[in-house]
Chains A and B, each alone.
Chain A
């Protein structure tokens, strides 16, 4: 793995919010097909790091390249088209749409197929191959039952799956999942963890997983890094990093 160039290579990312140092010189490398877990206490800068990687925040310093190409200046929609998909810690769904429509929008967006003239000539109807892709994804994430339900009527667990399915519709090379188990019960977390592992192993999608549930992290990730107060304090296998005294201090408090 180490022989190849990394798929995502972020170096020395720093960002400040006013006087608050949210990230300090954080570097992340993710290789093709690999899954990296990022753990750390609340407020450690995990979601901020995500936002910097996918272009929703501009870091003060540092550079990000994807598949060997610098993407620092690219807005988030251009990064998405390169194959970086994400889910959100606080659910971000489109409340007026059904589950089916969520996936269909993502399918269209992947093809970059939003031309006004096509709509005006009524060429905007779903094509057979698009329908097949959507149905395949519905059954993969287990949402075929509720395909025609507006997401406003779905439970949080279902919404997390909708987000995941929507992200996967982009056929990403890198999936960034931000606390996908937050707010879910044990069974739902189990289903989601299995799904993530399946996607990563069978479809060889590289993955960055931010997660508090260490059982889930242990099942899904190959490698982990720990953030605390915007700094990377440890990196290695999950077992290694959790044994690290720095990490124990960050998680358990100064007295530990």
Chain B
């Protein structure tokens, strides 16, 4: 028993870190409806600032704490509210998740830009030193950090609970959670309450970040996502609490910390269970909680009695283009393509040919985002994992069986599609936020476990995916590889367009519009979702194999889950609903990275920040900011053409409205007819 306690007791302060994150997640979600994925990044920012002031600028602890946790953190929370979330209170939960995803990508990338990218090894701590053992519980030494973390966490959570129960501010916040609109009618300034909730939850994030400092050995501003396991554990504890109960979130967090510590003791060290099962445990627990907690099913359904006064979400821009624009656009595109291929084969410098080839390969991968997010409206955060499956399969098949890379890419795509089917079947009963979180858990699992094996992405040298060859034709040079990739891209685009215009695409549009109505027509939502998941995963797999082939030796880090987040953000920014959007995203992503590489190295990652800020516009322009601007310009040209028609009657062709008129040839009136 005492040996059990030896392992369980250190789990308590460890779990307190999870608990604070979970409490903050629950608090933000309850008060604002935003599942704030950027929470870990916010925690990291405060931790980083605290450490910088305390260890490098030699401020004393209270001053560093005050600035990092009591000024920077709530300031960030208020800024997020003021400039972002206040403007989208009625947006769909997907839109809100996308916004927080943009922040999750942007905040960490901005830290090295602002503070420099040097890894710092002197680590500060809050209140009591982790190097001093204050007393022993049984035979377990308890150091200062353990005491500080536990006492502060319990104190803060108790204060929060008391505030919600007894203080006027707490009661107001609960009223706003129940119904934002009704409380406004009662004279409550709901916007101010929401801003308060953001400031409060952001402070909690900052506090948990600073408390967790004592658990790290160094602080690397270029890799703040080392906080990943924290995020997973925080989400798990929050999900255990059904995103509702602050006290359950606290207990869940501590429980997870204890569980992890105890399992380390009881699993035989070095066994398959310890090396394979233990690292995957947090993800397994998260997925099980997400899928099995029935109270989570309804978290996205508004219980607000006045929800129906909300305006509907913004419809995508209706592309009213003049039919006369079709031919010039078509021919313009063809000429552009011929000029592009000719240029690439002749005068474009070698390093740029490589960049453009990368862009084309990215475009193939990004088509998978178009399918899953643009067409089915689900946000999948594991597309890099599917790409990795395709790449590693093609590489290993080429290595061991000497299989041609193109055949390997097909097999890889099929394998990724199979994994996609399994995943889709697992998540078939949930959608929206829960599905997004399950895919995120899967991506982090693949990153930490699946791709670490020597037969997949592990090993020291990485996996070599050779350049393809068809018979005597070799595509080893960048120029020829680019042309081949272009052909594959065109084929994949064609497939996506066919699905989009076909029955499955229409079913998906119906599901996006109203799942209930789609089911009432006899559309099988589950099988449609599985089909689109499979095809999307297959495209990502093929794209991933091409990516591996373009890059040379690849390793698990090339398909880290962070990349999934970045890719989704990039595609959503440029336009997730059209195949052009995917190509724009792919080219922009590769070209921008190359252009920015001419800037000082401190600005590495600036392209992520740019795209992430673009994604913040998603709630207003779900079709993507580039597609939105394109539609606006086309509408403007169409209006000009219409105005020209009006001034020169008789010269114009029938405009788009004409098709509507032909359809009305059989006039209405059948109802009157039936009266007789």
* Nearest chain B residue, comparing its CB with the CB of A101: B506
Does B502 touch A at the CB level, under 8 Å?
A: yes
Among B318, B504, B507, B522, the most chain A Cβ lie within 10 Å of the Cβ of: B522
- A249 within 8 A of partner (CB): no
User: With an 8 A cutoff between CB atoms, is B269 at the interface?
Assistant: no
| B511 closest partner in A (C-beta) | A94
Contacts of B312 in A (CB 8 A): 95
Structural contact, B520 and A54, CB atoms closer than 8 A: yes
Residue in A78, A118, A135, A149 whose beta carbon sits within 8 Å of that of B503 in the complex: A118
Binds A, one of B32-40, B273-281, B662-670: B662-670
Residues of the B chain whose Cβ atoms lie less than 8 Å from the Cβ of A215: none
- In B497-542, which residues have CB < 8 Å from any A CB? 498-499, 501-507, 509-510, 512-514, 516-525, 528, 531, 535
Q: Mark A205-230, 1 if CB is under 8 A from B, else 0.
A: 00000000000000000000000000
* B533 to A: closest C-beta gap in Å: 12
Which of B513, B524, B666 is within 8 Å of A96, CB to CB?
A: B513
Q: Do the beta carbons of A95 and B503 come within 8 Å of each other?
A: no
User: In the complex, are the beta carbons of B663 and A100 less than 8 A apart?
Assistant: yes
Given contacts A80-B521, A119-B498, A143-B668, contact A109 B318 (CB under 8 A): no
List, in ascending order, chain B residues with CB within 8 A of A146's CB. 660
Q: A residues 81-140 with Cβ under 8 Å of B?
A: 81, 85-86, 88, 90, 92-97, 100-101, 104-106, 108-110, 112-116, 118-124, 135, 138-140
Look across to chain B and name the residue whose beta carbon is closest to the beta carbon of A195: B671
**CA–CA, A194 to B498, complex, Å?**
40
B668 touches A144 (CB 8 A): yes
B321 CB, min distance to chain A CBs, angstroms:
14
Given A76-B520, A124-B498, A139-B670, verify A94-B664 contact (CB < 8 Å): no
A249 to B600 CA separation, bound complex (whole angstroms): 80
Residues of A with C-beta under 8 A to B516: 56, 76, 88, 92
CA distance A148 to B524 in the complex (A): 26
Identify whether the interface residues of B are mostly helix, strand, loop, or mixed: helix
Q: Does B461 contact A (CB under 8 A)?
A: no
> With A93-B517, A108-B506, A118-B502 given, is the CB distance from A142 to B670 under 8 Å?
yes
Q: Which of A147-202 contact B (CB under 8 A)?
A: 147-150, 152-153, 163, 166-167, 169-170, 191, 194-195, 197-198, 202
Given known A115-B503, A195-B674, contact A148–B517 (CB-CB < 8 A): no
What is the CA–CA distance of A163 and B503 in the complex, to the nearest angstrom? 19
Please name all residues of chain A whose beta carbon is closer than 8 Å to the beta carbon of B519 when the two chains form the complex.
56, 75-77, 80
- Supply 15 A–B pairs (Cβ within 8 Å), ascending by A: A88-B516, A88-B517, A92-B514, A94-B510, A95-B315, A108-B507, A109-B521, A119-B498, A119-B503, A122-B502, A142-B668, A142-B669, A144-B663, A153-B318, A198-B674
B contact residues vs A (CB 8 Å cutoff): 308, 312, 315-316, 318, 495, 498-499, 501-507, 509-510, 512-514, 516-525, 528, 531, 535, 659-660, 663-672, 674-675
A sample of 7 more A-B contacts (CB under 8 A), given A56-B519, A88-B517, is: A77-B520, A85-B520, A95-B315, A108-B503, A109-B507, A116-B499, A163-B517
